[in-house]
């Protein structure tokens, strides 16, 4: 099977190396039933030095996709353009596509899937979420008979690393700098720490879990930048950890779902709590199958290349049989519930001026909005005091109104983290509870 | 798609109920592209009371399989006969088969796969290992491009529950009785505690991970019956937990593998250490993908029925396309390394008469056989003393010879648990290290 590779960065280079290794090539041939051969590699600058064989390099990606001797296209360019046009050209030409392009899938995954289905060819993307951890195929096939209630993923290794380091005593800035030194974070980390990388993955997971066309704009997205090392410490004292989560879940009994990305306070005995460092995990709750977790390395060129290679082998098997992966089930209408209609327990921290009666004022505002306090601690900070609250289940809208009004109180100097508590029995959101 | 169901125990009944539920049937139809209908259920006694519709029941399993209006066969009888004959009849008639029959697959899985492949129909068995946790399909498809180094599974919920309860202070007998009360253990628990249930699953996992025809007789099998609550306590004090593992791993650089089932001493920071109660998990180490773990509920009729239903939906999609899951890759020759040629660190406990010089005698025997002591503790037991050892990496054969000679010493009253330490960097077996 002759493969066109679009993009030759970390993952592409690892793939080229894996396919070229003779021992592995023999194993691949055994697994795929055909020999894989990379016949062209599209790059932006064909004269730049790289490990790939120079004679395979081209700057004409479109021409490569359309070459008659190309059977399957692997897209590792990322981004929307020109990736979208190239993938459409490949699918229109009846060529299976393997991609790890989460940004593209989270915008036009539904259209691309329809096109692949219409042409009867594979569109496979195991590498797009949680790298080599099998997540896409289990959701699409193994759990096809399961009514999935909730998917919660730690799908961004950078933010998980940063929060994990903060739980060991680093500040946010120190942890981020360390992630950058280790190559776990970009020089511009905003897509990671702001949550947009995880939001794309949340859209893909939600689409698969609920048979819907969820796009990234449907995803409520909050980054980890408001979380302080003090919050991480307080949470630990209370038996919780703060984790960067992508959540897709049913709300109520109908077809309504919520899809969101935010840091969350998770009980330390929850399986997701022990997923540390740059590791990824996807926790799935099924109506019948119960709780499951798929866990592993979420980053690195080798792991992603392994996921791409697994998809390539499936595409090769299918192509030789003249078939393709059946389309995932799709529902006509899935309602996305706005986040302000959800409810959960909350963690709140705020700094107040240490005067008599301040706690009474704060508690009165919370009570006025129906936000019930489950637990409170006050810590002295010289002239100020820090108040830490855990609330009972409260409506998002009520909490937002509380925070807005507290911000207008003279005695409140600064509102810190406002974090949802998830993963305990009582914390499951319900519509307007 | 018209389904024949063979067997209507816990899993079969749950499947009948799931397929009959109208809301779920609509979702299944959306996912599978066809409507599933159970057209017959073969049971041993058609007059016994059960939840399934009486008019579907028959005692003639063979006749049901061969009926013209049966498109696909679900086998949930278990055991070798008549399951084997029935599955062969189904496959020979070109009917896809979904089964959870680990005992059968671990004996003649290779022959059945060859037959399915020759007839171009599916043989799917996600429920056979770790119930609803997606394990089979990820190994067969998602990780097809990965060179798997090691698979370690907690694949028997009963023994994991018993050892977990022992870590909370129960004795073996108390924990087993509690498992029986909760329906987690059979009245005759020997297949679980003796390891033969896990051995069948180990054979299936090894076959998939290494493209080999591994049968249950290839699996070295030790039960958990020699593990005492004292061992569990000592291990905990040393930072370890005792877990019932099924292990399949490469040995050396060639095609040699080891497949075995035994209780093992695992560092408490290892992901498998936190898999408690009746939960199952499969930990996979890939050359490129790194470490992964698939975790979830390993038991219960609902979870297993969900796995069967997922396979049924895939079979339905394939049948409507006229295709089948491609055969897994198979190697001609995989050498199974006998367990006595492996090496690992060991945990040993023994009761000795508390006389001067006894430790010297014991240490001398270990030293004579090249078994090097890393750590030792002596605990007084009145006239006797209990010696607990952790060794450096030692050959299995040397440890066996040590234990045999120690058993002949007058000062040794009783040799207790002899357990391998796995999951730490230094503990990976190597051939004749």
Backbone angles phi, psi at A22, to 5 degrees: -60, -45
pLDDT of amino acid B299: 78
Give the least confident one: A313-322, B187-196, B283-292: A313-322
Confidence band, pLDDT 50/70/90 cuts, at residue B425: low
Query: Cβ of A321 and B323 within 8 Å?
Result: yes
Q: Which residue has the tokens 């003649």?
A: B108
CATH 3.30.70.260 residue ranges of chain A are 339-427
A423 Cα to chain B: minimum distance (Å): 15
pLDDT of amino acid A332: 59
Rounded to an integer, the average pLDDT of A98-106 is 97
Query: Cβ of A288 and B132 within 8 Å?
Result: yes
Q: Using CB atoms, which residue from A33, A311, A328 is nearest to B326? A: A33
B288 Cα to chain A: minimum distance (Å): 5
* Run of H or E residues at A379: strand A373-381
Q: Give the Å distances, CA to CA, from A309 to A112, A304, B237.
A: 20, 9, 43
* Run of H or E residues at A27: helix A22-32
Q: So what CATH class is B142-296?
A: alpha beta
Strand, helix or coil for residue A348: strand
pLDDT of amino acid B433: 29
CATH 3.30.360.10 residue ranges of chain A are 143-297
pLDDT of amino acid B323: 79
A33 CB neighbours in chain B (<8 A) are 326
Query: Cβ of B310 and A143 within 8 Å?
Result: yes
CATH 3.40.50.720 residue ranges of chain A are 2-131+301-321
Structure token digits, residue B9? 């125990």
pLDDT tens column, A264-286: 999 998 999 989 998 999 999 99
- What percentage of chain A carries pLDDT values higher than 90? 76
d(CA A425, CA A391): 15
Sequential DSSP letters for B227-290: --HHHHHHHHHTTEEEEEEEEEEE-SSSSEEEEEEEEEEEETTSGGGG--TTEEEEEEEETTTE
pLDDT tens column, B105-120: 999 999 999 999 999 9
- Please say whether the dihedral angle defined by the alpha carbons of residues B308, B310, B313 and B314, taken in this order, is positive or negative: negative
pLDDT of amino acid A300: 83
Burial of B426 (0-12, 13-18, 19+ CB in 10 A): exposed
* Run of H or E residues at A19: helix A10-20
Q: Report the number of secondary-structure helices (H) and strands (E) in chain A.
A: 14, 19
d(CA A204, CA A248): 10
pLDDT above 60 (res A428): no
* Run of H or E residues at B310: helix B301-321
Can you tell me the ipTM of this complex?
0.86
Query: Cβ of A297 and B291 within 8 Å?
Result: yes
Catalytic residue among B95, B102, B201, B395: B201
| pLDDT greater at residue B211 or residue B174 | B174
Residues sharing a CB contact under 8 Å with residue B408, sequence separation 6 or more, in sequence order: none
pLDDT above 80 (res A243): yes
pLDDT above 70 (res A331): no
Query: Cβ of B142 and A310 within 8 Å?
Result: yes
| pLDDT greater at residue A346 or residue A324 | A346
For B26, the closest chain A residue by CA position comes to A331
**Greatest Cα-to-Cα distance within chain B, rounded to the nearest angstrom:** 80
Q: So what CATH class is B339-422?
A: alpha beta
Is any Cβ of chain A less than 8 angstroms from the Cβ of B307?
A: yes
Q: Cα A127 to the chain's mean position, in Å?
A: 12
A30 CB neighbours in chain B (<8 A) are 211, 329-331
- What percentage of chain A carries pLDDT values higher than 70? 97
Is the distance from CB of A297 to CB of A134 less than 8 angstroms? no
Among 3.30.565.10, 3.30.420.280, 3.30.70.260, 3.40.50.20, name the CATH number for the domain at A339-427.
3.30.70.260
Is any Cβ of chain B less than 8 angstroms from the Cβ of A31?
A: yes
Structure token digits, residue A9? 């960065």
pLDDT of amino acid B52: 85
Q: Where are the beta strands (DSSP E) in A251-360?
A: 256-267, 279-286, 290-297, 335-336, 343-344, 346-353
* Run of H or E residues at A312: helix A301-321
Q: Which residue has the tokens 């330490």?
A: B421
pLDDT of amino acid A426: 44
pLDDT of amino acid B329: 66
Confidence band, pLDDT 50/70/90 cuts, at residue A168: very high
B192 Cα to chain A: minimum distance (Å): 22
Structure token digits, residue A249? 């879940």
B134 CB neighbours in chain A (<8 A) are 134, 137-138, 142-143, 292, 294
For A126, the closest chain B residue by CA position comes to B142
pLDDT of amino acid A411: 93
pLDDT tens column, A35-85: 899 999 999 998 887 778 899 999 999 999 999 999 999 999 999 999 999
Give the least confident one: A330-339, B165-174, B235-244: A330-339
Give me the CATH code for the A143-297 domain, please: 3.30.360.10
pLDDT tens column, B133-162: 999 989 988 888 888 999 999 999 999 999
d(CA B162, CA A49): 58
Is any Cβ of chain B less than 8 angstroms from the Cβ of A333?
A: no
Is any Cβ of chain B less than 8 angstroms from the Cβ of A142?
A: yes
Residues sharing a CB contact under 8 Å with residue B360, sequence separation 6 or more, in sequence order: none
Backbone angles phi, psi at A265, to 5 degrees: -95, 120
pLDDT of amino acid B197: 96
- What percentage of chain B carries pLDDT values higher than 90? 76
Residue B281 Rama label (left phi>0; alpha psi -120 to 50; beta): beta
Rounded to an integer, the average pLDDT of B399-414 is 95
Question: Which site among A22, A146, A274, A300 would you substitute to test the B interface, given the most B Cβ atoms closer than 10 Å to its Cβ?
Answer: A146
Confidence band, pLDDT 50/70/90 cuts, at residue A343: very high
Q: Cα B14 to the chain's mean position, in Å?
A: 23
Rounded to an integer, the average pLDDT of B27-45 is 87
Is any Cβ of chain A less than 8 angstroms from the Cβ of B277?
A: no
Q: Give the Å distances, CA to CA, from A382 to A352, A358, A410.
A: 11, 15, 18
A166 Cα to chain B: minimum distance (Å): 19
d(CA B32, CA B185): 35
Residues sharing a CB contact under 8 Å with residue B404, sequence separation 6 or more, in sequence order: none
Q: Which residue has the tokens 């390394």?
A: B337
pLDDT tens column, A378-412: 988 888 999 999 999 999 999 999 999 999 999 99
Structure token digits, residue A422? 């998830």
Q: What single DSSP character describes residue A93? A: T
pLDDT tens column, B250-306: 998 878 999 999 999 999 989 999 899 989 999 999 998 999 999 998 878 899 999
Backbone angles phi, psi at A75, to 5 degrees: -105, 115
pLDDT tens column, B312-366: 999 988 888 787 887 776 665 789 999 999 999 999 999 999 888 899 999 999 9
pLDDT above 50 (res B429): no
Confidence band, pLDDT 50/70/90 cuts, at residue A365: very high
Q: What single DSSP character describes residue B195? A: S
* Run of H or E residues at A388: strand A384-391
Q: Cα A429 to the chain's mean position, in Å?
A: 20
d(CA B415, CA B249): 29
Angle between helices B396-408 and B358-368 (to 10 degrees): 140
Rounded to an integer, the average pLDDT of B79-102 is 97
d(CA A227, CA A349): 10
CATH homologous superfamily of A2-131+301-321: NAD(P)-binding Rossmann-like Domain (3.40.50.720)
Is any Cβ of chain B less than 8 angstroms from the Cβ of A254?
A: no
Rounded to an integer, the average pLDDT of A144-171 is 95
Question: Which site among A140, A144, A295 would you substitute to test the B interface, given the most B Cβ atoms closer than 10 Å to its Cβ?
Answer: A144
Confidence band, pLDDT 50/70/90 cuts, at residue A425: low
Is B102 an annotated catalytic residue?
no
Confidence band, pLDDT 50/70/90 cuts, at residue A433: very low
Shortest CA distance to A280 belongs to which of A264, A296, A265?
A: A296
Is any Cβ of chain B less than 8 angstroms from the Cβ of A97?
A: no
Is the distance from CB of B275 to CB of B281 less than 8 angstroms? yes
Is the distance from CB of A244 to CB of A176 less than 8 angstroms? no
Task: Look at strands A2-6 and A72-75 and give their pairing.
Answer: parallel
Max mean pLDDT among A300-309, A321-330, B48-57 falls in: A300-309
pLDDT of amino acid A382: 86
Structure token digits, residue A303? 């792991």
Rounded to an integer, the average pLDDT of A175-186 is 93
pLDDT of amino acid B431: 33
Angle between helices A301-321 and A10-20 (to 10 degrees): 60
Residue B367 CB coordination number (10 Å)? 12
Mean pLDDT of chain B: 91
């Amino acid at each position: 099977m002759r493969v066109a590779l679009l993009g030759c960065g970390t993952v592409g280079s690892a793939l080229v190396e894996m396919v070229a290794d003779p021992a592995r090539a023999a194993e691949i041939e055994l697994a795929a039933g055909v020999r894989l051969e990379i016949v062209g590699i599209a790059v932006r600058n064909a004269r730049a030095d790289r490990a790939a064989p120079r004679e395979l390099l081209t700057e004409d990606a479109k021409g490569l996709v359309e070459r008659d001797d190309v059977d399957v296209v692997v897209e590792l360019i990322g981004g929307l353009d020109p990736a979208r046009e190239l993938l459409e050209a490949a699918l229109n030409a009846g060529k299976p596509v393997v991609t790890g392009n989460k940004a593209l899938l989270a915008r036009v995954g539904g259209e691309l899937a329809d096109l692949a289905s219409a042409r009867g060819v594979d569109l496979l993307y195991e590498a797009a979420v949680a790298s080599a951890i099998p997540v896409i195929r289990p959701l699409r096939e193994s759990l096809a008979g399961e009514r999935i209630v909730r998917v919660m993923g730690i799908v961004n290794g950078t933010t998980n690393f940063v929060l994990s380091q903060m739980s060991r005593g680093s500040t946010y800035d120190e942890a981020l700098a360390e992630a950058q030194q280790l190559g776990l974070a970009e020089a511009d980390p905003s897509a990671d720490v702001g949550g947009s990388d995880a939001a794309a993955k949340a859209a893909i997971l939600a689409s698969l879990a609920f048979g819907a066309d969820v796009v990234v704009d449907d995803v409520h997205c909050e980054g980890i930048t408001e979380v302080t090392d003090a919050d991480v410490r307080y949470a630990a004292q209370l038996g919780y950890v703060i984790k960067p989560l992508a959540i897709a879940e049913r709300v109520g009994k109908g077809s309504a779902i919520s899809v969101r990305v935010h840091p969350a306070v998770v009980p330390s005995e929850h399986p997701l709590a022990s997923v540390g460092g740059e590791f990824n995990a996807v926790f799935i709750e099924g109506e019948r199958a119960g709780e499951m977790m798929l866990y592993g390395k979420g980053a690195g060129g080798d792991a992603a290349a392994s996921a791409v290679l697994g998809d390539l082998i499936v595409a090769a098997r299918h192509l030789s049989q003249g078939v393709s992966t059946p389309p995932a089930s799709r529902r006509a209408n899935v309602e996305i519930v706005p986040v302000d209609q959800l409810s959960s327990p909350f963690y709140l921290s705020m700094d107040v001026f240490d005067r008599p009666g301040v706690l009474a004022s704060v508690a009165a505002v919370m009570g006025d909005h129906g936000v019930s306090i489950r637990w409170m601690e006050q810590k002295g900070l010289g002239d100020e005091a820090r108040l830490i609250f855990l609330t009972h289940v409260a409506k998002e809208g009520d909490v937002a109104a509380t925070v807005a009004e507290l911000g207008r109180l003279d005695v409140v100097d600064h509102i810190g983290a406002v974090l949802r508590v998830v993963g305990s029995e009582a914390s499951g959101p319900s519509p307007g509870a």
